[in-house]
Structure 1
Amino acid sequence: MDAVTDVVVVGAGPTGLLVAGDLAAAGLSCLVLERRHGESNLSRAAGVHARTLEQLDARDLADDFVAVGLPVDALRVFGSGVLDLSRLATRFPYLLAMPQFTTERLLTERARKMGVEFVPGAEVTGLRQDADGVDLDVRTHDGRDCTWRAHYVVGADGARSAVRHSLGLPFPGMSVARSLLLCDVRMADPPPNVLTADARKDGFAFVLPFGDGWYRVIVWSRRRRRPDAAPIELGEIREITRRVLGTDFGMHDPRWISRFSCDERQVPAYRVGRVFLAGDAAHVHSPAGGLGMNTGLQDAANLGWKLAAVIRDGAPAWLLDTYGSERHHAGDISLRISGRLLRSAMARPRTLRAAWRVLLRTAMRDPHVALRMAETISGIGLTYPAAAGAHPLVGRRAPDLPLAGPGPKSVYQALRCRCWLLVVPPGSRVPAQAAAGWEGRVRVVTANDAARTLVLVRPDGYVAWAAAAGSESSADRIRGALAQWCGPPPTPIAR
């Protein structure tokens, strides 16, 4: 231990890779410790939702993802219901189907480009923290024990998180399903390019195309609940799929096959001192809805800019506390949505399954209800809790509004600077003067519409402050909001 790193990230899955890349892009020193050797061969996550794509767009990454994934704008669920994603008010009105290893590859390339250092084969065995930093005890791939010191640590090391265990935090929850079967296969007679799922009295099946000739299949049978370590063959998956969907689509040549159990758990605290938990280290739930990896990536999008703001820019320390409160709220929502979907698929009585089908079909026929469902599943509808008396826009996702003048043409293009945006109506002059002193941290942009509201947008695309434009939105009020959220200009704190 001969140097202090700004942040050590434990875990090189999608969550850890995104937060590490964000920290390095902000100019911080970042080290990633990963137990695995070499590239991941895992493919459990299968899709990137619209809100996650917006976060990637703010990093100029979304187009790289779209180029290798398959946009799926309709989710066919339980035989008769079709959830239409094409009505989402976003540049990405779909689920982007792609295997997890492709997501990891793209995020690894970006992290390395930004200067992140990786240590493969490194296992965390303990940690201690004090007022100035955290000491991580690590066993390397060759059996040596060493210690790394960092100002902060992010535990993104999965459901069996060594960081969480070292903190002594519980992981309350329950096991909700055993012996789910998962594989990626070729198909001789594939279904249309939509997500297909259905349930019968003794099981369910889920099929998603990747667009490259491979298909993700997840099945479960009430008749065959075996230990996770039990042998598995493709014939078992084909038989369950035929029983539920009426055909096995001629599936063959699996490249990946697994049996796993499904838990619903969430850690009570996402932050303990200088240590943060994210992704599966903080929350796990069923694969229903495809929310797991997406929730973790949005944890990373929430945490990275806050750490950078506090370490680099002198932003108020309380900003780090908002990570835990906001993302625990988001984790609750993901657990609730995925839990309801899974329990509906696993419901035993025929009358209960029939009632669910009728309810789903009725809801999807109501345009407003169907849109709300699509917004919830996609993450577009997530709103963070706001203080009493705050403007109605505070805590909401900022829409990708068109911008006027030279430079970026939309809000999420402007967010690629990884700074705050003060979005002002056409003709506003006071805001630009009010933001003087925060150059490099706050960018003033002009909305290309008739809006009469000043909006301060966080680097993760959520509204922190808003006020009606006019005399009541004086320069002093704007500067007060900037000082509250961005820290006093312009002196950074010592690391």
Structure 2
Amino acid sequence: MQNVDVAVVGAGPTGLALACELRLAGVSCTVLEKRAEEPNLTRAFAVHSRTLELLDARGLADDLVTQGIVVREVSPTPGAVLKLEILANRYPFLLLMAQSRTELMLEKHARELGAQIVRGCAVTGLAQDGDGVTLSTTGGEMRAKFVVGTDGAHSAVRDLIGVKFAGKQYQTHILLADVQLARPPQETLFGVSNPSGLALFVPFGDSWFRAIVWDRSREQAPLDEPVTLAELQGSFRRITGDDYGMSEPRWSTRFLSERRQAERYRVGRVFLAGDAAHVHSPVGGQGMNTGIQDAFNLGWKLAAVLRGRGGDELLDSYQAERHPVGESVLKITDTLFNLVLSSSKVDAAVRRFIIRNALKIGRVRTSIAGRLSGVGIAYKPLSGTHQMVGKRMPDLTGVKGRLYEALREGKFVLVGADAGVWSDDVVSFEATSTPPVVLVRPDGYVAWAADRVNDGEVTAALRQWCGQRP
């Protein structure tokens, strides 16, 4: 029987990102994936600003940006434009990138760090006790101290631990297809919404486009009916007036989107992340991003507990921090879904009017940009703590580079003070400005902060978060 610190079930973006985080922290990790072959198609296509920041904290973002298409403004609803430069960070844009490319980058990095990835291996049983978890798989039994289910919307891990996946299914039939275009539209993100339906093209930068269609005249087509080129062409001509010379699709599907969330993200030594924890409408491109951010939150916490520097309270903070984020994402995507795909023309018109007028207000624009990009995500701190605690730490310029470069070892970073005897586990960062003293978590959020250096308070914070020292 194989023994490992953490078994990750599912080799999508969430599972691979988690494997990277665990191996960076020196934790043994095996990823089990029921798919025998690596994916060569794509589902998600958007990498948001906060996800790019986190990948930058591991030295992965800039190379990814060169492979994708940068979009600097989005339209939450027709007639309303949101310029992403309002984010004022290193990545004030949306990156269009095929999910398969993101997965390949993460898998390469995970393997380089020493993660074991086993394909063609499905989980069939799970039993946990006070010391660990025994997994039954099609490849034999495995023993792990912790298990994380990142195995998608139909998660076997979630079913095995008996967690309810609460929510609803939308009744709107959506077509997805990857096509090439003889006459591509000039707009980077092309979309038309009218009484006939909605039609979008998302470019992948390699001559292929994701076609997304909601055609009112095809609402009653059976979900198992194959999507044909003739149907796609007809829908685009009805909605946009042109089929843009689209080719036979290399991949297509007809589906009903869902809005569901796991009631709990943790049961004992088993955790849920990514689509196993939350699924929602693809409108807004939130799914993969939320999953990767789940992985960054959970990875360092599991590593800390395995090294004896944390306990149940730290593990419980994953649920406390990420479950509300999942709820928020479901609300955002539900709102966007109803803006562009509502069957009620009156309701849709009212929502669009509200959004267009709300975006004229500066603080509302900033709030919406922050929520869509992930930059505005913050975790609720304990009462009495500094106002920065739980918030995303912005990048800073330092004497020896940027703050997010200092995070690349996957350690805590202490800004504005010396880590002293904790220097093996904490990176000291000297900023060129004079911000408050801040202890930054490995996932780029503030663990502790103070307005001025106090050696006793700094020592207490380091002891709390990074363990005892002589």
- 1:484 matched to which residue of 2? 464
Distance 2:348 2:94 in 1: 26
- 1:155 matched to which residue of 2? 149
Q: Which runs of 5+ in 2 are unaligned?
A: none
Report if aligned partners of 2:76, 2:336 keep a CA contact under 8 Å in 1. Answer: no
| Code of the aligned partner of 1:414 | A
- 2:447 matched to which residue of 1? 464
- Shift of the 178–359 alpha-carbon distance from structure 1 to 2, 3 Å rule, reads closer
Distance 1:73 1:324 in 2: 33
Report if aligned partners of 1:134, 1:149 keep a CA contact under 8 Å in 2. Answer: yes
- 2:161 matched to which residue of 1? 167
Distance 1:155 1:188 in 2: 42
Is it true that 1:421 corresponds to 2:413 in the alignment? yes
- 1:319 matched to which residue of 2? 314
* TM-score after normalising by structure 1: 0.91
Q: Which moved more, 1:162-171 or 1:33-42?
A: 33-42
Distance 1:92 1:166 in 2: 39
Distance 1:130 1:91 in 2: 45
SS at match of 1:183: strand
Q: Pick one of 422, 425, 428 that aligns with 1:441.
A: 425
Report if aligned partners of 1:299, 1:327 keep a CA contact under 8 Å in 2. Answer: yes
Is it true that 1:196 corresponds to 2:180 in the alignment? no
* TM-score after normalising by structure 2: 0.96
CA apart distance, 1:249: 2.6
Distance 1:229 1:105 in 2: 30
- Shift of the 364–197 alpha-carbon distance from structure 1 to 2, 3 Å rule, reads farther
Q: Pick one of 349, 373, 386 that aligns with 1:378.
A: 373
SS at match of 2:217: coil
Is it true that 1:96 corresponds to 2:88 in the alignment? no
CA apart distance, 1:139: 1.2
Distance 1:200 1:12 in 2: 39
Q: Pick one of 286, 293, 301 that aligns with 2:288.
A: 293
Distance 2:188 2:328 in 1: 25
- Shift of the 360–190 alpha-carbon distance from structure 1 to 2, 3 Å rule, reads farther
CA apart distance, 1:353: 2.8
Name the count of aligned residue pairs: 469
| Code of the aligned partner of 1:481 | A
Q: What are the Cα deviations for residues 355-394 of structure 1, in whole angstroms up to 9, with x where unaligned?
A: 3333232233333322321111000011111111221111
Distance 1:201 1:347 in 2: 11
Report if aligned partners of 1:60, 1:416 keep a CA contact under 8 Å in 2. Answer: yes
Distance 1:263 1:349 in 2: 19
Identity of paired residues, percent? 48
CA apart distance, 1:179: 2.6
Q: Which moved more, 1:226-235 or 1:179-188?
A: 226-235
- 1:493 matched to which residue of 2? none
Report if aligned partners of 1:78, 1:198 keep a CA contact under 8 Å in 2. Answer: no
- Shift of the 165–53 alpha-carbon distance from structure 1 to 2, 3 Å rule, reads same
Is it true that 1:412 corresponds to 2:404 in the alignment? yes
CA apart distance, 1:38: 1.5
CA apart distance, 1:484: 1.7
Distance 1:139 1:257 in 2: 30
- 1:84 matched to which residue of 2? 83
Q: Pick one of 348, 355, 360 that aligns with 1:365.
A: 360
- 1:402 matched to which residue of 2? 397
SS at match of 1:169: coil
Q: Which runs of 5+ in 1 are unaligned?
A: 141-145, 425-430, 491-495
CA apart distance, 1:77: 4.4
Report if aligned partners of 2:389, 2:448 keep a CA contact under 8 Å in 1. Answer: yes
| Code of the aligned partner of 2:28 | S
Report if aligned partners of 1:72, 1:193 keep a CA contact under 8 Å in 2. Answer: no
| Code of the aligned partner of 1:413 | E
Report if aligned partners of 2:133, 2:145 keep a CA contact under 8 Å in 1. Answer: yes
CA apart distance, 1:90: 1.4
| Code of the aligned partner of 1:369 | V
- 1:37 matched to which residue of 2? 36
CA apart distance, 1:313: 5.2
Distance 2:135 2:459 in 1: 40
SS at match of 1:181: strand
Q: What are the Cα deviations for residues 8-62 of structure 1, in whole angstroms up to 9, with x where unaligned?
A: 1000000000101211122111111110012113411011000000010011000
SS at match of 2:336: helix
Distance 2:290 2:215 in 1: 27
Distance 1:168 1:28 in 2: 27
- 2:216 matched to which residue of 1? 222
Q: Which moved more, 1:208-217 or 1:123-132?
A: 208-217
- Shift of the 313–64 alpha-carbon distance from structure 1 to 2, 3 Å rule, reads farther
| Code of the aligned partner of 1:486 | C
SS at match of 1:92: coil
Distance 2:72 2:85 in 1: 5
Report if aligned partners of 2:86, 2:92 keep a CA contact under 8 Å in 1. Answer: yes
Distance 2:191 2:468 in 1: 52
Distance 1:214 1:382 in 2: 32
SS at match of 1:86: helix
Is it true that 1:213 corresponds to 2:197 in the alignment? no
Over the residues paired in the alignment, what is the CA RMSD in angstroms? 1.7
| Code of the aligned partner of 1:159 | A
CA apart distance, 1:193: 4.4
Distance 2:311 2:248 in 1: 54
- 1:350 matched to which residue of 2? 345
Distance 1:242 1:364 in 2: 31
Q: What are the Cα deviations for residues 387-435 of structure 1, in whole angstroms up to 9, with x where unaligned?
A: 112211111100011112x3xx1111111021111111xxxxxx31xx3
Q: Pick one of 263, 270, 277 that aligns with 1:275.
A: 270
- 2:104 matched to which residue of 1? 105
Q: Which moved more, 1:8-17 or 1:62-71?
A: 62-71
Report if aligned partners of 1:183, 1:254 keep a CA contact under 8 Å in 2. Answer: yes
CA apart distance, 1:178: 4.2
| Code of the aligned partner of 1:92 | Y
| Code of the aligned partner of 1:479 | T
Q: Which moved more, 1:242-251 or 1:475-484?
A: 242-251
SS at match of 2:334: helix
Distance 1:4 1:454 in 2: 41
